[in-house]
Structure 1
Amino acid sequence: MKKVYAIQTLAFEDLGSFAATLMELGYEIHYLQLGVDALQPALASTHPVILLGGPISVYDQVNYPYVSDLIAALQSRLRANLPTLGICLGAQFIAAALGAKVYAGHVKEIGWSRLSINNQGFNSPLRYLDDVAVLHWHGDTFDIPTAAKRLAGSIYYPNQAFAVGLNILALQFHVELDLKQIESWLIGHHHELHNAQIDILTLRQDSLRYGKALQDQAQRLLRDWIGNLIPVPTQRIE
């Protein structure tokens, strides 16, 4: 059976609506926890890897020393052009592994809004997100790696997505949210929402308003990315 590895930093930030699509496509899903599980076998495999979101920072490697190990393993993986998708924190990990700067942004971007997709974005799986509100939930941002193409921005941050070829895709925002799990996010991120003065009632209402359309388009985005992956040799990378 085909496999996909999903690397988490929070248990409730999982593959969300992506999980059903991956299973329909014949993939067996394997979750791994950053800081708990050994990630190297997954990162050295030729199976797709999806790096999910979380509340830590890429640059906080003193408190979370295993972040540097993840970035080093990602560097080898990305050099080999192995299929890798990063979401939010996962996108920041990819940016750092490709040599770009990841740093604290000027504002917490938490809530729903539409992207500004450029021409290169419309030639990528992001075309399915045209005029669709996505969920932003981050305070850090990144520069676009030299080897990558910028695909989209937002009203607060110009760098919201980038790609390297067809196999490597990084999304600063969330497309994978399953509406059935929104309360887990609102509870689990209570302190962040409170400190950022985010209105939880409005965030819940907007999630119900925009979530279904996003889920539908997210399935198309994922199918497009998976369907256009360039095959790689079956042996593991060193």
Structure 2
Amino acid sequence: MKKVIVIRHAAIRDLGSFHAVLKQENFNVQFLEAEDDIIYSPVSLNADLLVILGGPMCANDQDRYPFIKEEIKVIKERIKQKKPVLGISLGAQLIAKALGSDIYPAPHKEIGFRDITMTAEGEKSSLRHFNHTRVLHWHGDTFDLPKGATLLASTELCPNQAFSYNNNVLGIQFHPQVTKDDLAGWFECDKSRKEVKETPGVDLKNLERQREVMADRLEQCARWFLKDWLRAIGF
């Protein structure tokens, strides 16, 4: 059985719809809690696949969160060994940082369901399954496109929404894996509600309406995407 290590930074930022797909694809799914578990170890270095999820911290907060340094070390080593890595939100930022890019606050926080614009390369990639589908954005930081990476998708607020590197490393700034139930938990979280309240142009009731209309479609596209990407990288 293949093994996937999933690094989680917050209980509510979970694997979502990806979990069932990984099980169906015969992966043994093991979680590492970033703040509690040893991150840089043979467990994360030797896994068939590494998935790094989102979280409320910034990829630059290495002094405050020492595990970030460990994650960057793991990413660098796996890239050197040509082992696959998938990063979501903070995970994408950590991949970008491991590849030498700067991480910095976006002009405005991007929260809510919005379209992404695919590049020509994105149209040919596994991300094509999100074409014409509004995906969930929930981030305040962004990053420069790493040298040697291929840009796959953009939005007006964050031009570097998704990129690939060496064909088997993928960074996604938005949250493709979030389910309707996951979002209910996000909306009940005091920190999330505070963040929504403090972000101009974002309204919790509107987010809840978007969830009802768009989350099921996002979940379906996420399953298609992950199955396709796993095939593309040789699983």
- Shorter chain as denominator, the TM-score bin is over 0.9
Worse overlay, 171-180 or 181-190: 181-190
- Match of 1:44, SS state, is helix
Matched, 1:36 2:28: no
- The aligned residue for residue 215 of structure 1 is 219
- Residue 27 of structure 1: CA displacement? 1.2
Structure 2: distance between partners of 1:22 and 1:10: 20
Structure 1: distance between partners of 2:55 and 2:197: 17
Structure 2: distance between partners of 1:139 and 1:48: 27
TM-score after normalising by structure 1: 0.93
Q: Mark the runs of 5 or more structure 2 residues left unpaired by the alignment.
A: none
Specify the code of the residue in structure 2 equivalent to 1:14: D
Matched, 1:9 2:2: no
- Match of 2:77, SS state, is helix
Q: Mark the runs of 5 or more structure 1 residues left unpaired by the alignment.
A: 232-238
CA distances 1:14-57 after superposition (whole Å, capped 9, x unpaired): 10011111111111111111121012233311411110011000
CA distances 1:99-146 after superposition (whole Å, capped 9, x unpaired): 111111110000001100010101211111110100000000001110
- The aligned residue for residue 200 of structure 1 is 204
Specify the code of the residue in structure 2 equivalent to 1:9: H
Structure 1: distance between partners of 2:98 and 2:112: 27
Matched, 1:133 2:134: yes
Worse overlay, 42-51 or 122-131: 42-51
Structure 1: distance between partners of 2:213 and 2:156: 20
Q: Is the 8 A contact 1:43 1:74 kept in 2?
A: no
Worse overlay, 13-22 or 64-73: 64-73
TM-score after normalising by structure 2: 0.94
- The aligned residue for residue 176 of structure 2 is 175
Specify the code of the residue in structure 1 equivalent to 2:214: Y
Percent sequence identity over matched residues?
35
- The aligned residue for residue 23 of structure 2 is 23
Structure 1: distance between partners of 2:209 and 2:82: 40
Specify the code of the residue in structure 2 equivalent to 1:31: F
Q: Is the 8 A contact 2:18 2:226 kept in 1?
A: yes
- Residue 77 of structure 1: CA displacement? 1.1
| 1:1-238 superposed matches below 5 A | 1-40=1-40, 41-188=42-189, 189-197=192-200, 198-230=202-234
- The aligned residue for residue 236 of structure 1 is none
Q: Is the 8 A contact 1:6 1:30 kept in 2?
A: yes
Structure 2: distance between partners of 1:33 and 1:87: 15
- Residue 230 of structure 1: CA displacement? 4.2
RMSD of aligned residue pairs (Cα, Å) = 1.3
Specify the code of the residue in structure 1 equivalent to 2:208: R
Q: Is the 8 A contact 2:75 2:95 kept in 1?
A: yes
Q: Is the 8 A contact 1:42 1:49 kept in 2?
A: no
Specify the code of the residue in structure 1 equivalent to 2:7: I
Q: Is the 8 A contact 2:106 2:157 kept in 1?
A: no
Specify the code of the residue in structure 1 equivalent to 2:206: T
- Residue 226 of structure 1: CA displacement? 0.8
- Match of 1:62, SS state, is coil
